[in-house]
């Protein structure tokens, strides 16, 4: 399970819950594969570390770059 307080705080920053869930999932996978936490883990589970990183502004959603036809076809 995850810390609901951290999830609520992260949801204030990333309004779309499905986007937040995907971001947390991707970061949790990275952490479980050996990536170093960007915050003090304080004996937290990987999912809570990912949420804490979002709340503290260490990771965020990057807006997609706009790709033009020239980028695709030269």
CATH code for position 16: 3.90.940.10
pLDDT digits 0-9 by tens, 26-74: 999 999 999 999 999 999 999 999 999 999 999 998 877 887 878 778 6
Specify if 37 maps to a domain.
Answer: yes
Residue 38 belongs to domain spanning: 4-59
Task: Look at residue 63 in the predicted model and tell me its pLDDT.
Answer: 79
Q: How far is CA 36 from the centre of its chain?
A: 14
Specify if 46 maps to a domain.
Answer: yes
Specify if 74 maps to a domain.
Answer: no
Specify if 69 maps to a domain.
Answer: no
pLDDT digits 0-9 by tens, 2-12: 899 999 999 99
Specify if 12 maps to a domain.
Answer: yes
Q: How many domains does the chain have?
A: 1
CB 52 within 8 A of CB 9: no
Specify if 44 maps to a domain.
Answer: yes
């Amino acid at each position: 399970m995850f810390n609901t307080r951290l999830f609520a705080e992260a949801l204030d920053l990333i309004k779309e819950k499905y986007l937040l869930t995907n971001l947390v999932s991707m970061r949790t996978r990275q952490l479980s594969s050996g990536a170093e936490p960007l915050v003090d883990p304080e004996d937290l589970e990987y999912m809570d570390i990912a949420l804490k990183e979002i709340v503290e502004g260490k990771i965020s959603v990057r807006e997609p770059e706009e790709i033009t036809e020239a980028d695709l076809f030269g």
